């Protein structure tokens, strides 16, 4: 899951990015409105949620939000602002914000609001994600395969969650890199392959099919066991 943090205050931006990464979210930071617009143009649907400060050096956050909504960017946006007047909240929500939090804020509350904003419509209270024979508890961040608990590091968790949210879809290495690591970061040429390797080792059980398949020249995909009966790779 990728969160775009639009925040000109260096201290708050790095606090947010650090905290979100520790929770397994990939983050990108935009420090002014034009940069945020450029990033949303490039990443589009690869962004899962936006945290938006209102007092930006070049554009007002509410104007930025209106521009996104005019361009049909449907990503949930949580406004995070020191403006605590009712009028500001009404204007923000009416411009298309999903939620509004005032600064100073509790990080735990922000995480809960992020989870709520990311919950698919019609799945109120959903905390479990299931695909193939794997189950993820999104609240406690615990994974199981066929009832056996798997302990994952934050990046491994983020990678598995990405696969679980797109079962059977082939995900390219750049797509995975953008959604699990930071956009534009170059953490090393084969980091995706390395982490897929870690994840496979943790998911593998003797006698059970390999869940994450290599699609030559395209990337990787998670397959339900019924479809994963062919020759196993990795
Ligand atoms: Ca600001």
pLDDT at 207 over 70: yes
Model pTM above 0.85: no
pLDDT at 232: 43
Domains of the chain, by residue range, sit at 2-118, 128-228
Distances (CA, A) of 17 to 34, 114, 144, 174, 222: 19, 14, 28, 21, 28
CATH of domain 128-228: 1.10.10.10
Q: Answer positive or negative: Cα dihedral of 221, 159, 184, 61.
A: positive
* Dist CA 143 CA 129 (whole Å): 9
Backbone angles phi, psi at 201, to 5 degrees: -60, -40
pLDDT, tens digit (0-9, with 9 covering 90-100), for 163-187 = 998 888 899 998 898 888 876 666 6
Strand partners, 131: 134
CA of 13 to the centre of ligand 1 (A): 10
pLDDT, tens digit (0-9, with 9 covering 90-100), for 53-102 = 999 999 999 999 999 999 999 999 999 999 999 999 999 999 999 999 99
CA of 222 to the centre of ligand 1 (A): 40
CA of 25 to the centre of ligand 1 (A): 22
pLDDT at 16: 97
Average pLDDT of the residues in 144-148: 89
pLDDT at 12: 97
pLDDT at 233: 44
pLDDT at 71: 93
CA of 100 to the centre of ligand 1 (A): 15
Task: Give the other-Cβ count within 10 Å of 102's Cβ.
Answer: 14
* Dist CA 182 CA 186 (whole Å): 8
Backbone angles phi, psi at 147, to 5 degrees: 80, -5
CA of 6 to the centre of ligand 1 (A): 9
pLDDT at 185: 63
CA of 32 to the centre of ligand 1 (A): 9
- What's CA 75's distance to the chain center, in Å? 11
CA of 56 to the centre of ligand 1 (A): 5
Q: Which CATH number fits domain 2-118: 1.20.1050.10, 3.40.50.2300, 1.20.1250.20, 3.20.20.70?
A: 3.40.50.2300
């Amino acid at each position: 899951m990728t969160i775009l943090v639009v925040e000109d205050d260096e201290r708050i931006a790095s606090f947010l990015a650090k905290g979100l990464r520790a929770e397994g979210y990939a983050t990108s930071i935009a420090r002014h409105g034009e940069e945020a617009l450029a990033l949303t143009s490039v990443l589009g649907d690869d962004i899962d949620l936006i945290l938006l400060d209102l007092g930006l050096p070049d554009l007002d956050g509410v104007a930025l939000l209106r521009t996104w909504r005019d361009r049909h960017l449907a990503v949930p946006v949580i406004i995070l602002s020191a403006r605590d007047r009712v009028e500001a909240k009404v204007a923000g929500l009416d411009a298309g914000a999903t939620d509004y939090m005032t600064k100073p804020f509790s990080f735990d509350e922000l995480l809960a609001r992020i989870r709520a904003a990311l919950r698919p419509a019609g799945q109120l209270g959903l905390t479990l994600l299931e695909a193939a024979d794997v189950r993820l508890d999104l609240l406690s961040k615990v994974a199981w395969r066929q009832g056996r608990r798997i302990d994952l590091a934050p990046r491994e968790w983020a990678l598995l969650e990405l696969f679980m949210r797109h079962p059977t879809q082939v995900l390219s290495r750049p797509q995975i890199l953008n959604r699990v690591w930071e956009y534009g970061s170059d953490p090393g040429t084969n980091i995706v392959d390395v982490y897929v390797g870690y994840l496979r080792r943790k998911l593998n059980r003797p006698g059970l099919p390999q869940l994450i398949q290599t699609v030559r020249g395209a990337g990787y995909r998670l397959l339900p066991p019924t479809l994963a009966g062919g020759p196993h790779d990795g």
